Structure 1
């Protein structure tokens, strides 16, 4: 039986991937910093990482942080995967990392390149923003009496469980390189999504679109976060909100 290691296996996406693989009868190891028996800090690697990868044929790399260190984690993981003879490394990435000049996006792009040049069999899937992330951002923006949102910015949120389904499909197949992006079912202005969030949470706020400045804002306004040709997701933002908040 194929043994699969999921990095970040206790996170929002990694948990969903792990559950699906196990439901399919796969042998799964969960690697995270605080979860035994494979409690490993990927940034430093070490013997614990080699132990976790012993006998593993496929790695699904979901671990990430916006606090820095993803490049070091990728280097440690790739090196250990080579030593262990891993045949397939699957990486989850983000639509727009080559178009939107954010520091975190640059890091994700660097990790993609490391994986592509690793000598391992690899698959990379880029998706649009998860519903969960958008809801978290909108929740923060909704705290003041007036909800200020960047003007003219479209978004295309996707359901994390659908992304997990796709990652599992890719992990159980042969290495495929960079596969088609995955986007949510709708491209919507951010102010429209904000109003949907307010309705679902029962908050009364005025929504005020505010123009911003800079390369990042311009790239987002020009659709840098979108994959309209790959709007393959099924769950709308309202459907997600209804499940989360009981609307």
Structure 2
């Protein structure tokens, strides 16, 4: 049995990774900012991080923050992992971080490079956007009578549980470097996906396609964030929505 630390282990992806690893018989430590016994802010790199990593063979890094600080968090984690003799660092990234000049993507790419240069065995898995992200986006936009969406942009949403399953597989194996990208089963326009959401939610809204400017938008329009050759996901956005609304009691 291996001791594995999962950062962000209560988040959208991390909690499913934890479940998979525990089902595989591993001793899993969950590191978050607020949940004992491994409540550590990776951006601060306090003594609790060394305690959390003591005796750990593998680290799965799922933690991220919209408030920034991911690069510093990765530096602290990698330094502590090296002190603890961790043998395998696993990181979840995003398809297109090297092609789309979007600020958050640039941060993810910088963290990838830190893992590659860590001197420790590493694995990086890039996935397309989760169904959950589109759900939250459309849920927020549909509060208004009009839903503005970037024109001529497509997406390839993937199920978070499928990504968690793959990430857990990689964590239980030898360091693999850059693993094959993982994309959802369908590439569709944002307009089509929004219509799918509205239909499932039982809402009527006008969806307006808004042309934008900038290098990031052009890269998204060009499909830099898509992985058509790696459409390995199985669960569609409509299947996700059906389950989501069945649980919450919303929708049709």
Q: TM-score range by the shorter chain?
A: over 0.9
Q: Which runs of 5+ in 1 are unaligned?
A: none
State the partner residue of 2:34.
34
**Residues 181-220 of structure 1 aligned to structure 2 (within 5 Å):** 181-220=181-220
Cα distance between partner residues in 1 of 2:80 and 2:224: 34
Aligned: 1:60 with 2:60? yes
**Cα deviation 1:47-103 (Å, max 9, x = unaligned):** 100000000000000000121100110000000000000000000000111111111
Cα distance between partner residues in 2 of 1:116 and 1:216: 25
Cα distance between partner residues in 2 of 1:154 and 1:146: 19
**Match of 1:12, SS?**
coil
Deviates more, 1:139-148 or 1:38-47: 139-148
Give the CA deviation at 1:45: 1.1
Give the CA deviation at 1:132: 0.2
Deviates more, 1:3-12 or 1:212-221: 212-221
**Match of 2:91, SS?**
strand
State the partner residue of 1:107.
107
State the partner residue of 1:155.
155
Give the CA deviation at 1:162: 0.2
**Cα deviation 1:91-139 (Å, max 9, x = unaligned):** 0000111111111111111100011000000000000000000111111
Q: Which runs of 5+ in 2 are unaligned?
A: 247-251
Give the CA deviation at 1:193: 0.2
Aligned: 1:245 with 2:237? no
Q: Which runs of 4+ in 1 moved over 2 A?
A: none
**Match of 1:204, SS?**
coil
Aligned: 1:44 with 2:44? yes
**Residues 119-198 of structure 1 aligned to structure 2 (within 5 Å):** 119-198=119-198
RMSD: 0.8
Q: What is the TM-score normalised by the length of structure 1?
A: 0.98
Deviates more, 1:133-142 or 1:88-97: 133-142
**Cα deviation 1:161-180 (Å, max 9, x = unaligned):** 00000000000000000011
**Match of 1:29, SS?**
strand
Cα distance between partner residues in 1 of 2:214 and 2:81: 40
Q: How many residues align?
A: 247
